Every structure is written in structure tokens, then in C-alpha cells.
Structure 1
Amino acid sequence: MQDFLQQTLSGSAPRKRKGETDFLCWQWLDHGILLMEPKEKARRALVLSAGIHGNETAPVEMVNRLLLPLLRGEKPLQQRLLVILGNPVALKTGKRYLRYDINRLFGGRWQQIVDGDEAHRVLRLEQAVETFWQACETEETRWHLDLHTAIRGSYHARFGLMPYTERPWPPEFMHWLAAAGMEALVFHRAPGGTFTHFSCEHFAAASCTLELGKARPFGKNDLSQFAAAEQALAGLLYGEAVSASASQPKHYRVTQQITRQSEDFVLHMGSDTLNFTAFPQGTLLAEDSDTRYYVQQAREYVLFPNPDVALGLRAGLMLIEESEQTQALPL
């Protein structure tokens, strides 16, 4: 198998489901799920996922480009690696998702929806990750990088979303995120249904959802915009040197979530509002029947504003920047 992406989009199993190079052994586990293990002992087990949303194609193309020299035997592999293209059906149709946003269904939340293909897919991904990390050596560290692009433009072109955890973040992981060009890191303060939260909560993995630009169709991406992230991933996979970042990402914390609960929901933000737009204290952000959302801190920044989400889902997050607070919030 030379091209994992094309094999995944074909919807069929490869003729050959296992193989090896001088450096590694690979195994096709399921549609969009590929296991790669180096022949030399590794100190890290990495889950590298993309395509959880089918319209976010640039990370999928980048991951596939990184896999090609590994599958051709041109590069060594330095990690035990599980590669996941999360939603092959949505990728093939170019849609964010078909019925349900699967990045809200992890951690068993898929059981709350009508039985269907997307629920089965989330269960399959959870099982694949669990099996992968159950095979870990005790001294191996666990990382999960889930690659996305955003619907809206942003004042920070590249940023990471850190799942809620009470554990300290490994310094090596934080240094890697800076080297990958992350301009900002957003720290959640509550559990969620994302893939990275599942990895972090259930398997103590250092996990991050990386937002790497705007969502565009296959063939319309300028991958040069993701050069820093691609170089950092290449260093991680192949063992090549990764240049240290000259600047550190800004740190933000989630202070409140705006949730659309009814058909009366109104978001008081224009369609051109960028991620990380700042609002002063007292600003009315949204209304939903008798519920009002206001800026509570001296200044808050919006992330992922979207009035068109399904009922019960997040229509936006409000953030505070740590450096603007007199007292930083705990991890």
C-alpha cells in the first residue's frame, strides 16, 4: 500500500493488509486506520489523527505526504504510530459530517445518539486507540495529535486546544507545540466529547487538537502555510532535528461556553467575526429565550462562534488570556 489516503477514500480494503520495509512493519486495521511499528524499540507511542471533520482536508493531505516515505522504505520511523483518518465517508463527500459531529461523541457519548454509522465509527476509533495503547511498553510516553482546520479566519492562524486535565503538561510536549508553530494554546476547564479529551482522560496521553488554518476542499490547500507543523511532525516521525521556536504561544483559558438550546437562539456576532476577537466586559454576546450571555471579565475573546449548530451544541467559547489576568487559573 503506497497511498493511505487514496486507499481510504476508495472505501475498499487493500489487497495486501500487512507489509514491512527495512525500518518498520505496517498493518491496515480498518478504513482510515493504519498501524506502523518501528523495528527498533521506540520510547513513544503516537496517535496521529486527521479528517475527523470531512471538510478539513489540509491536515489529511499533510499526514499522507508524511506517510509516503515511510511506506516506501525511504525514512525510518522513530515512534510506534497509529494513524487515523477519522471520518472517511465525510471526507469522500467533502462535508464536515453527515448527521452528527463525531468530535462531540467520544468518551461513550456516541451511545446517546440514534444508532448509526457515525456512532459505530466513534466506537471503532475508541477501540483502536485503546488496543494501541494497551500494547505500550511501560516506559513509553503517549501523545495524541489531532489535526484540524477552522471554519472561520483567526487572529491566530495556528492554535492548539488542550483538553481538561489536572495533570501537568510534559515540557517536551509543550516545546514541540511551540516548534510546530502554534501561536496560541487554549486550555479547557471542563471535560468534553472530543477525540483528544478521550485520549487524555482515559489513557493519560498528552493530547492536543491542532487548528492549522482554514477549511478548504481537497486540492485547494496551500500546504506551505503549514510548513512549521509539517517539519515538526517530520522530526517526530523520522527522528530529524526540529528547530526550536523563537516565540512561545499565548495561553488562553475557557471562561464560559455559549450553547444553543432552542430555535430562538441569536448570536450577536457577524459572520465575519474572527476567532480570538476581543469583547469588553458587559457586551451582550447571545440570547436564547430567557437566557443571556454577557462578557463577564474585563475582556474576553471568542472562539468558534457559530449560530447554526444543532440544538444542545456549543455555539461559541469565550476565553481569557492568562497574561491579562492578575492570577492565572490552575491547570
Structure 2
Amino acid sequence: MSEPNIMLSDFLGYTLAGTRPAANERDGTCANAQVRWSWQDDGVLLLEPVSRETGGPTRSVLASAGIHGDETAPIELLSYLVRDLAAGEAALGCRLLVILGNIDAMRDGNRYRDDDLNRLFSGRYREVPHSHEAPRAAALEEAAQRFFAAASGGAGARWHIDMHTAIRASAFEQFALLPHTGEAFSRAMFEWLGDARISAVLLHTTKGNTYSHFTAQACGAQACTLELGKVRPFGENDLARFAGADEALRRLVAGTIGPAHGPMPRVFTVIGQITKQSDAFELFVTKEVPNFTPFAQGTLLARDGQYRYFVQHDEERIVFPNPTVKPGLRAGLMVVETTDETLARLA
């Protein structure tokens, strides 16, 4: 089997091995010459239908995973998608850029080496020039910009699905986060999330430095971050648990998405965050508390010197509680449910 065929049949293994194709083997065709592929960088692979050269599809989809190196289930799903597209066993009806994010951390089995890669986008990597993750953040920004620069600017033509897994359990095993852009949220995205059997959606209300924030703001993509289950080592994932998201992504890539197949998810809007200010920080949430656990008004959740976080609303839920982050970073998001009003305003 030639090296490019090995790359396409096991994109994950090929990438983790550090293999790089020779200069004359960085593009070709597969799927009985119906798909053109181009290796662009470590863990970055472009696939396009050959039919596009004669006026084919206009949708462009960026599918990424492994921005955190220990979030293995979606990494495996993407590698299998590449395999099936290359073999002609999955349909490709769009331009598709597949990205495996923090490869060194994936090899280590760790979330990251120096800095959380998903906090370094929108140029924030320049603030930590000596970080191991900084060059990768710059490279992934460039890959996204190059990909979307050649994309159609029409409504619904640009998509980014960034797949993750959560550190802890969740009241909603599979949920999504949508970046804040100042624009109305997309009905098409919510319907796709329903099709993917995503139970809940978290809406950001300020700009951030995640990869999906970057592609939404800098590239005009309909972008989301998916949280699929819990962190596990490679080979220990029950991928059948994520069949809804996998099948929905495959339909999106095939260009066969239509009316939503599942119920619309519940919606929660960020109303505040708990910030770790120093090493004296205390978070009164145990490791066993799942994401989206509700707390009643008046509950003290965090303390750091003179800083206190008390629940202000009748009920607030905590997402991503993590007291081990570096000082200055988010140690938890606080959200309230806004399902009815959000779904009524979808564009």
C-alpha cells in the first residue's frame, strides 16, 4: 500500500507517527477518482469532490477535533470519516477541511503541553510566544483562513464543527457551545444540532479565543463547539454513543441535510463566569458535580481573597468548573435557561 493510501485509510495513525508525505505525494484522488485530496500540514487534510471543478457544490465545512489532545472520541470519528470518504463508502458533497489539532498533546495523552490551545486563537497566541502551543494556534488560524478564503460567501455556505469531549460528566452528555458574533443565531445550525441529537446548547455572550469563535468572527462561518461525552484514552471510546453527531456530520458533508430529525435542544445563556485570580482560589464544587448542575440563589460557589461568586438568579447552572486552571483564566461558566426566547428569535 502506498504512503498516501496509508494516510487516508488511517489518518490518525499516520499523523501521530509524525509521517509527512514526500513533496510529490501531497495530493491526488481517491474514491474512484471522485474525490481530490491535498495534505496541507500535519493533521490538516483538504478533500473536495472532483465534480466541483465543473461547477459543483458551494458549501465548505471545516471539521476539527483534538484541539485538546486527550479528547479522543471525536478524533477517532474524524479519522474514520476520512477513511470512508477515501474508500467511497461515505459521500462528499462539499469542500471539507479535516483538522487534528494539538498533535503533540495527542501523542502525550494530555490536554496540552504549556497552554490550553483553545484559549489562544484570535491572535492571543502572540501573548505567549514561548508556549509550545503558540505556533500551532497560528498554523490552525492560517489553515482556516486559507480554506474559507476560497469558500462561497453565500448564506449557509461556511460551517465549522469543532468536536471536543468534556473533562467531567454532564447533566446533558452531549451539548454544544455557540460563539458570540453579535449576529442572530442560525436556525440551520440549531436544526443541525437537533439532527445530531445534541441535548443542550450554551450561548456565549462575549467574544472569546476558542477556535470556533475565531472561525465565526474572522471567517464568517456558522461555527459550534461540540462536547461529546467524557475524556478517555485512545481505543477506549464507545463511539456508538456519538452516532447521532457522527451521522449528522456525515449528512452535512454529503450535502443531504434537510429538516431536523430530532427535537431542538434546550438553550442556556452565559450570564457570568468564575475567574481564578490567584493560587488562593477556592471553588466549592467537587469533582463529582456534573456540568449543568443547578444552584439556588445565594449559594457561594467561589472565593479568592476578597473575591466572591454568589448565585444571583433564582437558579444558575455551572459549566466547565475547573479550579486547576492558571490564574487569570475561567474556572467555570454560569448559565441560565433561555430556550423559549432563543428559539423564537432564530434567523
Range 13-22 or range 250-259, more displaced: 13-22
Q: Look up the match of 2:308.
A: 292
Structure 1 distance, partners of 2:262, 2:11, is 34
Write out aligned runs for 1:29-108 (5 A): 29-40=40-51, 41-108=56-123
CA, structure 1 residues 138+264, in 2 after alignment: closer, same or farther (shift >3 Å)?
closer
Identify the range of structure 1 (94-103 vs 22-31) with the bigger mean alpha-carbon deviation.
22-31
Relative to structure 1, the CA distance from residue 25 to residue 299 in structure 2 (aligned partners, 3 Å threshold; closer, same or farther) is: same
Does residue 176 (structure 1) correspond to residue 185 (structure 2)? The answer is no
Letter in 2 for 1:180: A
Amino acid at match of 1:34: L
Q: Using a 3 Å threshold, how does the CA distance of structure 1 residues 242 and 224 change in structure 2: closer, same or farther?
A: farther
Q: Deviations over 1:113-140 (max 9, x none)?
A: 1324310000000001111111113437
1:170 Cα offset (Å): 2.6
Task: Give CA deviations for 1:268-317 in whole Å, capped at 9, x if unaligned.
Answer: 11111110000001100100111000101110000000111111111000
Distance 1:329 1:289 in 2: 41
Conserved 8 A contact 1:262-1:311: yes
Please, which of 311, 317, 334 is the counterpart of residue 318 of structure 1? 334
1:17 matches 2:26 = yes
For residues 203 and 141 of structure 2, what CA distance do their matches in structure 1 show?
23
Query: Unaligned 5+ residue runs, structure 2?
Result: none
Greater mean deviation of Cα atoms: 131-140 or 88-97 = 131-140
Contact 1:286 1:294 in 2 (8 A): yes
The worse-fitting range, judged by mean Cα deviation, of 62-71 and 12-21 is 12-21
TM-score (norm 1): 0.95
CA–CA separation in structure 1 for the residues paired with 2:262 and 2:36: 36
Per-residue deviation, 1:60: 0.4
Superposed displacement of residue 323, structure 1:
4.7
User: Would you say the 8 A contact 1:24–1:76 is kept in 2?
Assistant: no
Q: Secondary structure at the match of 1:270?
A: coil
Structure 2 residue identity aligned to 1:100: D
Q: Distance in 2 between matches of 1:324 and 1:236?
A: 26
2:127 alignment partner in structure 1: 112
Give the match for residue 145 of structure 2: 130
Contact 1:232 1:242 survives alignment (8 Å):
no
Shift of 1:69: 1.6
**Alignment deviations for residues 178-209 of structure 1 (CA, whole Å, 9 cap, x no partner):** 11011000000111110000011111211000
Stretches of structure 1 that go unaligned for 5 or more consecutive residues are: none
User: What letter is aligned with 1:84?
Assistant: I
Question: Quick check: 236-245 or 109-118, which moved more?
Answer: 236-245
Q: Is 1:279–1:301's contact at 8 Å kept on the other side of the alignment?
A: yes
Partner of 1:236: 252
Give, as a single letter, the amino acid of the residue that structure 2 aligns with 1:231.
Answer: E
Q: CA deviation at 1:11?
A: 1.1
Q: Distance in 2 between matches of 1:236 and 1:14?
A: 29
Conserved? CA contact 2:60–2:95, under 8 Å: yes
- The Cα shift of 1:330 comes to 10
RMSD over aligned CA atoms reads 2.0
Ranges of 4+ aligned residues in structure 1 off by more than 6 Å: 328-331
Q: Matched residues in 1 for 2:214 and 2:62: separation?
A: 12
Amino acid at match of 1:18: D
Q: Is the 8 A contact 1:113 1:119 kept in 2?
A: yes
SS of 2:251's equivalent in the other structure is helix
Which amino acid in structure 1 is aligned with residue 124 of structure 2? R
- Aligned residue identity for 2:198: M
Which moved further from structure 2: 244-253 or 291-300?
Answer: 244-253
* AA in 1 matched with 2:141: E
Q: Distance in 1 between matches of 2:15 and 2:49?
A: 22
Give secondary structure in 2 for the equivalent of 1:117. coil
Count of residues in correspondence between the two structures: 330
Letter in 2 for 1:93: D
2:232 counterpart of 1:216 = yes
Change (3 A) 1:24 1:323: closer
Match of 2:174 in 1: 158
